[in-house]
Amino acid sequence: MQRFASNIIAVSGMYIKVESVATFSQAEQSAIHNNSSIGMWPFYSSNSDSGTNTSASFNQNANMTVIITSRPDVPIVIGVDVVPVATYVGHAVEGAKLYAAATTRHRR
């Protein structure tokens, strides 16, 4: 493995509303409506029985609003910190050295 996940960012009970100032043609609006159930930026969570929902709507100026929701009891991973293996292992090695030095000082 070249990389490790060092932190995971998970949320539940989310309500996200993203409003766009871009305009969308009728063809683009149809494509978005037809595919929004598989997820939309920024989280790409698909509609499911597990409690997430994504919807898109358009105003009279053809601007899009995306709403993404999830149930309070359903954790959703929205981010991960990924670090190179050398950094991940390097922190563990450095931490072990610091711990060994600290416990050696306290034994004297």
3-6: Cβ within 8 A, 24+ apart: 3/82, 3/83, 3/84, 3/85, 3/88, 4/82, 4/83, 4/85, 4/88, 5/80, 5/81, 5/82, 6/81, 6/82, 6/83, 6/88
- Read off the pLDDT of each residue in 101-107 and give the average, rounded to a whole number: 74
Tell me, what's the pLDDT at 41?
A: 58
d(CA 67, CA 35): 14
Could you tell me the pTM of the whole model?
Answer: 0.60
Give yes or no for residue 55 having a pLDDT over 60.
yes
Given pLDDT bands bounded at 50, 70 and 90, which one contains residue 63? very high
- Read off the pLDDT of each residue in 86-96 and give the average, rounded to a whole number: 73
Tell me, what's the pLDDT at 100?
A: 82
Residue in 2, 1, 4 with CA at minimum distance from that of residue 81:
4
Give yes or no for residue 22 having a pLDDT over 80.
yes
Name the range with the highest mean pLDDT among 25-34, 75-84, 93-102: 25-34
Lowest mean pLDDT among 31-40, 43-52, 61-70: 43-52
Cβ neighbour number for residue 72 with a 10 Å cutoff: 9
Tell me, what's the pLDDT at 26?
A: 96
Question: Apex CA 83: angle with CA 95 and CA 75, to 5°?
Answer: 100
